[in-house]
Amino acid sequence: MKKLAKLIVASAMVVGFAVPSVMAADGKALYEANGCATCHGPDGKSKMPTYPNLAGQKKKYLETQIMDIMSGKRSNGMAAAMKANPLAAKTDKDAAKAIAKYLSKVN
């Protein structure tokens, strides 16, 4: 548990100090820095049955799901936990697009 806490703090520092325009261009870096890999796996393939696999999904689908969760439009399942995550809460439309683009290309 201490390792997870350290990872979250380190990720928050990366997100806080990164230049947004540079990070927005790198969906993989955003995916990792926003803590997505914690639940969805480092390659978008979750090892936990409660979290969906994101790798290989269609870009527009992923983008829509991320934005619906962040806006509160979607609140079922684990959406509330994602929105409450302080790292994921920083996900804006540009970040959602970059993350979705990255995940859509992962096999």
What is the CATH number for 28?
Answer: 1.10.760.10
Least confident of 9-18, 23-32, 42-51: 9-18
Domain carrying residue 65 = 2-104
pLDDT in tens, 26-43: 999 999 998 899 999 999
pTM score of the predicted model = 0.73
Residue found under tokens 């990872």: 7
Helix (H, G, I), strand (E, B) or coil at 45: coil
For residues 106 and 55, the answer to whether their CB atoms sit within 8 Å is: yes
13 — phi, psi (to 5°)? -65, -40
CA angle 105, 63, 15 (to 5 degrees): 85
Domain count, the chain: 1
> pLDDT tens digits for 54-101?
999 999 999 999 999 988 898 888 888 888 888 888 789 999 999 999
For residue 21, pLDDT over 60 is answered with no
- Within 25-92, residue ranges assigned H as helices are 27-33, 36-40, 59-71, 79-84
